[in-house]
Structure 1
Amino acid sequence: MIRLLAIFIATILSAAAFELPGKSSQCVVGTAKNWDTSTVTLKAYEKRDGKWVQVIGPWQGRLGRDGLVWGLGINPLPAGVKVKSEGDWRAPAGVFHIGGAWGYDAEIKKNPKLFYRQVTSRDLWVEDAASPSYNKHMVLDHDPTTAWEKKQQMKQGDYPHSLKLFIAHNAPPKVSPGSGSAIFFHIWRGGGSKPTAGCTTMEEAKLRQLVAWIDPGKQPVYVLLTEADYAAKRAEWKLP
């Protein structure tokens, strides 16, 4: 009993002691007015001499049509909260690693260490929660033929998706089926007049600037929270 109590207390203390990874020295911060808004203010920070310094922004972006909901990132989830699910039209909130980039261009301006793939018709990103490849990038060895393959295609002649930077929500190796997939930074629709299904979007020039700035060696993270939650967690989580 004493051992179980010790484990329980250790778990609680561990969750309470969360802070941004010590080796992360790049951070994109997104804050929304409340949990039901689809607009976001974005800023980018670098850690210099142990202090966060704003280097880009602020600039505006769009979120899910129905706002935000807690996502599966690297931060502990508050007790009893609702978590993102596939098709809920909400952007995942929390702290997430930022992954590679995918796009239509043969080359883009980027850090040499940042993974980039020029997508073709054979590149898929699986959003089918019943698939063992859910929320993963796949490359077919043939042109898509089935309705399922065509539905998962990354390249569908859609300009807003012509450049994407991965937000590691519910990401491999620990993927929870049905908890949301294909969350990216990408180009916004209608000049910012339209919300998303869950991604964070912005004008193309800002996205390209962000992609060029990201340095995988600095372990970049994305923090997306409401203004109130950001203020509440800022000191505890050591946010910019």
Structure 2
Amino acid sequence: MTRPLLFSLVLSLPVSGFEIASDCLQIIVGTAETWQSSHLTLSVYERTPGQSWQQTAGPWKGRCGKKGLAWGRGLHPKPSSSLIKAEGDWRSPAGVFSLGGVWGYGTSVKRRPGMKYRQITSRDLWVEDPTSPHYNRHLVLNREPLESWEKKAQMRQNDYPHSLKLFIAHNTEPKPVPRAGSSIFFHIWRSSGTRPTAGCTTLREINLRSLIAGLDPHKKPVYVLLPLQEYRRLKSAWDLP
């Protein structure tokens, strides 16, 4: 038997039309050289209402999907491009995304008030099976995993790169679309950044901890991930830094 986690781990950010919402005061920007690149540059920006963006952290090096980027399902308009994120495609979702809570192996992590944290246990699941009604959902068992699907869905244990992670809300609202991609996080990079990912965004532990410590849920932060050419094309229209 499973039960959903009782508190919401996705920060809400209303959108109308499309540009970055005026009440979004904090933004993480990730840019890749091309759609096919697995290397990123990450920076954090903040603004006060009505003012321009100012860089507050970064630039940091990061890694993304082995095969680069593809449009994800987030806050941005649905793209007409055929390059759309799919389960198992080894691409990171591009676009604009709300951020969720933090998961980790420790009892706590340095963070701002309002940022949810969940210590990962053997009973924590993240379902990546697109045929499951729980697809791309976090579940907590009230017992140890017994069924094969439960064991397969266990959040990673004893794996340093996954010892701290921040949820990127790709393919979550209004509900996950089967096979559109699941379990997308910021987490610690593998092999000192020499390896790309299956779809997550990774960076050095010290930089990830700095990122998490600085995020303020009351500023409604978002993550923007785009190839550099797309970023430049959309910068003005989307009110990007």
Normalised to the residue count of structure 2, the TM-score between the two structures is 0.91
**How many pairs does the alignment contain?**
226
Match of 2:40 in 1: 40
Cα deviation per residue 1:2-50 (whole Å; 9 max; x = unaligned)? xxxxxxxxxxxxx995100111100000000000010000000001352
Amino acid at match of 1:162: S
Match of 1:205 in 2: 206
Match of 1:74 in 2: 75
The aligned runs of 1:87-102 (5 Å cut-off) are 87-102=88-103
Amino acid at match of 1:112: P
Report SS of the residue matched to 1:230: helix
| Runs of 5+ unmatched residues, structure 1 | 1-14
Amino-acid identity (%): 55
Report SS of the residue matched to 2:151: helix
- Displaced runs of 4 or more, over 2 A: none
User: Larger helix proportion, structure 1 or 2?
Assistant: 1
Match of 1:231 in 2: 232
Match of 1:179 in 2: 180
Distance 2:16 2:141 in 1: 43
Match of 2:9 in 1: none
**How far apart are 1:232 and its partner, in Å?**
0.3
Report SS of the residue matched to 2:54: strand
1:104 aligned onto 2:72? no
Amino acid at match of 2:192: G
Distance 1:109 1:78 in 2: 36
**How far apart are 1:172 and its partner, in Å?**
4.0
Distance 2:175 2:146 in 1: 29
RMSD: 1.4
Distance 1:171 1:79 in 2: 20
CA contact (8 A) 1:135 1:175 kept: yes
1:216 aligned onto 2:208? no
Normalised to the residue count of structure 1, the TM-score between the two structures is 0.91
Cα deviation per residue 1:48-84 (whole Å; 9 max; x = unaligned)? 3521000001010000000000000111133243211
| Runs of 5+ unmatched residues, structure 2 | 1-14
Match of 2:10 in 1: none
Amino acid at match of 1:120: T
The aligned runs of 1:142-157 (5 Å cut-off) are 142-157=143-158
Distance 1:16 1:66 in 2: 32
Amino acid at match of 2:88: G
Match of 2:30 in 1: 30
Question: For the pair shown, which has the larger CA radius of gyration, 1 or 2?
Answer: 1
CA contact (8 A) 1:100 1:165 kept: yes
Report SS of the residue matched to 1:236: coil
